[in-house]
């Protein structure tokens, strides 16, 4: 709700058109949608309070689950940041090894096979066939 | 029309185009067979592979994945009691008991044949109905388009699998996201926060890949390592002629049900399969055997869910209003390839439209052959552990998003969407309404503002034009249908209460 209110406030910073008297302004439609979204969110909050429910009865994650989920998110983030510096294909290789290790996979052959074949697949399909230029970085 | 259809068939039978459809079908079956991986996700992941392709094979490959994926869901539903896609949930009722009786092969064969026939039926309806609908829609002005787009959005919001309110909030957020970037009418930028990337608006594809695929990667991470043990031997794939004749009424009924439900803008396949199953049970002579492992119980839902694929493409192509989550992603792909779905598509890109029709027909034929021929092989796919697939999917999410504009900003959009999609799903929100809102947002805004300009800011214009009134009435009916249904159920309960006592 707060987020929606902030976005609504931001709409007042949009410049006004010289034709604003005859035409709807750039802020008109986002405001309509945000008011609608705020109204619906308010109903949802009230309904949850009346029914004494937390949002969808969500119970939270256990420690290991948290580690895997946030670890996977962190690895994806690290990939997006690191690919530019060390190169996309090396990053793909490292991402797969790190992710499978994070999940607790012990089969080294499986890890190595997936880690080698995936960058190869990406290279053949995307770089050679679809001619996509990935960041090379200082490695590859 | 016949001439254009033959031209479309000629296009799709070119070796490379045929190969694209084949790749789409096989990828669809594989994605559908793996529990957790759904058709919208598969289509979203496949879009980056189509960037360099011609329009016809590109869209046909995606549509073929949609058809193949809907059938593929039945493989794991029958073999391991875990539907590969939500649309295959009803197939587990009789499919799995059949597998336990040692008739997995026959169940897979019946699923393939009924899916193929349902799909072919719906493509014929699509070919006949879509151009007629487009011809009607060509007379629509901005008020009608506004009402139609609102109707499309409200239907998926109210008929979605989860809470109506949450789906509506998701739809509104999607429409809001569509307003980010340069306003087409005034030229001013909105919510760009100084970023040059956001000035062009938020691209559909990274958002779709994030919401459907990356969110699934994080959900799989939450679930942890999952291995499927498959100890059933698959033999005797083809049901006998007598067994097929026994279910012919079910095949026809479910084809009609699936196609009709698919045409309605909602979560077509899932709803269609449950209704297909219920109706097959209601009309069956062996009603009491349903749930114990009966081929009719597989034919009913499988025919209906594949019939919904062709049905869902009718409003997508003719009106530009997606009939399901997957068609919302396909609509995004059409836009990426420079085509705006709607009545003008049939005039400006008639060759592409008829190519899609022919491609969809071919896809259903191919998966009949591939599905029956490769059933044993596809059943082994279920065994692939998720710790192998999930990192590969994450890599495809990243490289696919990057490939759109050769830009890291799209990767960031995808990752943020993935995290948001994962958190939203935790709290009972669905990704489909957001995607639908994002896809329809521009149409809703432009048609609303154009209507107000043309009709001198008169908001009542939407209530004075017949088609516009019709769509708004349908919107109201769609939005209030859960309330009306619960009121009717409560009344029925009160009426029955004294009798029960």
List of chain A residues whose C-beta atoms are within 8 Å of the C-beta of residue B426: 56, 58
Does B395 contact A92 at a Cβ distance shorter than 8 Å? yes
Does B399 contact A11 at a Cβ distance shorter than 8 Å? no
Instruction: For B459, list phi and psi in degrees, rounded to 5.
Output: -70, -15
For residue B477, give how far its alpha carbon lies from the nearest alpha carbon of chain A (Å).
18
Of B221, B388, B408, the CB nearest to A84: B408
Radius of gyration of the CA atoms of chain B, in A: 22
Q: Residue A135: what pLDDT?
A: 86
Does residue B501 sit within a domain?
A: no
Q: Are the CB atoms for B105 and B86 separated by under 8 Å?
A: no
Confidence category of residue B501, pLDDT binned at 50, 70, 90: very low
Higher model confidence: residue A26 or residue B418? B418
Q: Is the pLDDT of residue B495 over 60?
A: no
Cα(B460)–Cα(B57) distance, rounded to whole angstroms? 44
Taking CA atoms, what residue in A is nearest to B407? A134
List of chain B residues whose C-beta atoms are within 8 Å of the C-beta of residue A96: 391-392, 395
List of chain B residues whose C-beta atoms are within 8 Å of the C-beta of residue A24: 185, 449, 452-453, 457
Residues sharing a CB contact under 8 Å with residue B34, sequence separation 6 or more, in sequence order: B76, B84, B381, B382, B384, B389
| B232 Rama sector, left if φ>0, alpha if ψ -120 to 50, beta otherwise | beta
List of chain B residues whose C-beta atoms are within 8 Å of the C-beta of residue A82: none
- Which one of A18, A63, A76, A136 would you mutate to disrupt binding with B, by most B Cβ within 10 Å of its Cβ? A76
Does residue B500 sit within a domain?
A: no
Does A103 contact B448 at a Cβ distance shorter than 8 Å? no
For residue B332, give how far its alpha carbon lies from the nearest alpha carbon of chain A (Å).
20
Q: Residue A33: what pLDDT?
A: 92
Does B428 contact A56 at a Cβ distance shorter than 8 Å? yes
Q: How many CB atoms lie within 10 A of CB B233?
A: 9
Does B395 contact A118 at a Cβ distance shorter than 8 Å? yes
Return the domain boundaries, chain A. 2-57, 63-129
Mean pLDDT of B121-129: 92
Q: Is the pLDDT of residue B157 over 50?
A: yes
Please tell me the pTM assigned to this model. 0.82
For residue B469, give how far its alpha carbon lies from the nearest alpha carbon of chain A (Å).
21
Q: Are the CB atoms for B122 and B308 separated by under 8 Å?
A: yes
DSSP state of B239: P
Mean pLDDT of B463-486: 80
What ipTM does this complex have?
A: 0.88
For residue B478, give how far its alpha carbon lies from the nearest alpha carbon of chain A (Å).
16
B191-234 pLDDT per residue, tens: 888 888 888 888 888 898 898 889 988 988 888 777 766 666 67
Q: Residue B66: what pLDDT?
A: 92
**Where in the sequence is the domain holding B390, given as residue range(s)?**
2-493
Q: Is the pLDDT of residue A18 over 80?
A: no
Radius of gyration of the CA atoms of chain A, in A: 24
Cα(B136)–Cα(B31) distance, rounded to whole angstroms? 37
Residues sharing a CB contact under 8 Å with residue B334, sequence separation 6 or more, in sequence order: B59, B340, B341, B345
Cα(A82)–Cα(A70) distance, rounded to whole angstroms? 18
User: Locate tokens 């587990």: which residue?
Assistant: B92
Q: How many CB atoms lie within 10 A of CB A102?
A: 17
A101-119 pLDDT per residue, tens: 998 888 889 899 999 999 9
Does residue B100 sit within a domain?
A: yes
Number of domains in chain B: 1
Q: Is the pLDDT of residue B356 over 70?
A: yes
Instruction: Please tell me the number of Cα atoms within 13 Å of B413 on its side-chain side.
Output: 24
Of B175, B214, B427, the CB nearest to A33: B175
């Amino acid at each position: 709700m707060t987020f929606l209110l902030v976005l609504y406030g931001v709409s007042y910073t949009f410049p006004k058109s010289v034709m604003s008297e005859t035409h709807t302004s750039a802020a008109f439609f986002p405001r309509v949608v945000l008011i609608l979204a705020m109204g619906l969110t308010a109903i949802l909050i009230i309904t949850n309070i009346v029914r004494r429910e937390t949002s969808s009865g969500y119970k939270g994650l256990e420690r290991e689950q948290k580690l895997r989920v946030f670890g996977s998110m962190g690895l994806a983030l690290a990939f997006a940041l690191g690919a530019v510096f060390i190169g996309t294909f090396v990053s793909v290789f490292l991402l797969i090894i790190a992710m499978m290790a994070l999940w607790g996979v012990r089969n080294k052959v499986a890890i190595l096979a997936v880690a080698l074949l995936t960058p190869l697949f990406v290279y053949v399909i995307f770089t050679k066939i679809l001619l996509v230029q990935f960041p090379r970085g200082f490695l590859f | 029309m016949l001439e254009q259809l033959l031209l479309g068939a000629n296009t799709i039978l070119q070796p490379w185009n045929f190969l694209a459809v084949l790749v789409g079908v096989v990828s669809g079956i594989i994605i559908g067979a793996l529990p957790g991986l759904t058709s919208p996700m598969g289509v979203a992941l496949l879009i980056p592979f189509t960037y360099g392709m011609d329009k016809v094979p590109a869209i046909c490959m995606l549509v073929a994945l949609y058809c193949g994926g809907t059938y593929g869901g039945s493989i794991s539903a029958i073999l391991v009691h875990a539907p590969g896609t939500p649309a295959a949930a009803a197939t587990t009722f009789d499919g799995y008991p059949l597998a336990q009786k040692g008739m997995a092969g026959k169940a897979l064969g019946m699923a393939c044949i009924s899916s193929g026939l349902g799909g072919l039926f719906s493509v014929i309806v699509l070919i006949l109905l879509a151009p007629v609908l487009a011809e009607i829609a060509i007379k629509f002005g901005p008020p009608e388009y506004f009402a139609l787009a609102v109707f499309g959005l409200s239907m998926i919001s109210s008929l979605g699998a989860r809470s109506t309110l949450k789906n509506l909030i998701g739809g509104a957020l999607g429409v809001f996201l569509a307003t980010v970037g340069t306003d087409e009418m005034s030229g001013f930028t909105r919510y760009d926060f100084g970023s040059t990337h956001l000035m062009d608006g938020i691209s559909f594809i990274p958002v779709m890949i994030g919401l459907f695929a990356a969110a699934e990667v994080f959900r799989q991470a939450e679930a942890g390592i999952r291995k499927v043990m498959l100890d059933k031997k698959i033999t005797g794939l083809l049901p006998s002629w007598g067994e097929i004749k026994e279910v012919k009424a079910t095949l026809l009924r479910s084809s009609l049900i699936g196609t009709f439900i698919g045409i309605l803008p909602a979560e077509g396949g899932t709803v269609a399969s449950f209704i297909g199953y219920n109706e097959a049970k209601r009309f069956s002579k062996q009603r009491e055997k349903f749930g114990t492992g009966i081929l009719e119980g597989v034919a009913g839902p499988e025919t209906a869910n594949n019939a919904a694929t062709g049905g869902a493409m009718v409003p997508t192509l003719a009106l530009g209003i997606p009939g399901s989550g997957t068609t919302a992603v396909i609509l995004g792909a059409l836009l990426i390839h420079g085509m705006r779905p709607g009545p003008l598509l049939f005039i400006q890109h008639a060759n592409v439209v008829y190519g899609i029709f022919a491609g969809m027909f071919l896809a259903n034929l191919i998966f009949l052959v591939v599905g029956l021929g490769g059933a044993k092989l596809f059943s082994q796919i279920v065994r692939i552990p998720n710790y192998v697939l999930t990192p590969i999917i994450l890599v495809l999410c990243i490289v696919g998003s990057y490939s759109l504009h050769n830009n890291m900003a799209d990767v960031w959009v995808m990752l943020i969407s993935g995290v948001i999609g994962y958190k939203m799903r935790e709290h009972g929100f669905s990704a489909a309404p957001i995607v639908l809102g994002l896809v329809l947002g521009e149409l809703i805004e432009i048609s609303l503002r154009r209507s107000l300009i043309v009709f001198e800011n008169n908001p009542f214009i939407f209530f004075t034009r017949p088609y516009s009134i019709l769509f708004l009435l349908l919107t109201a009916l769609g939005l209030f249908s859960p309330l009306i249904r619960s009121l009717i159920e409560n009344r029925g309960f009160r009426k029955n209460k004294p009798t029960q006592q």
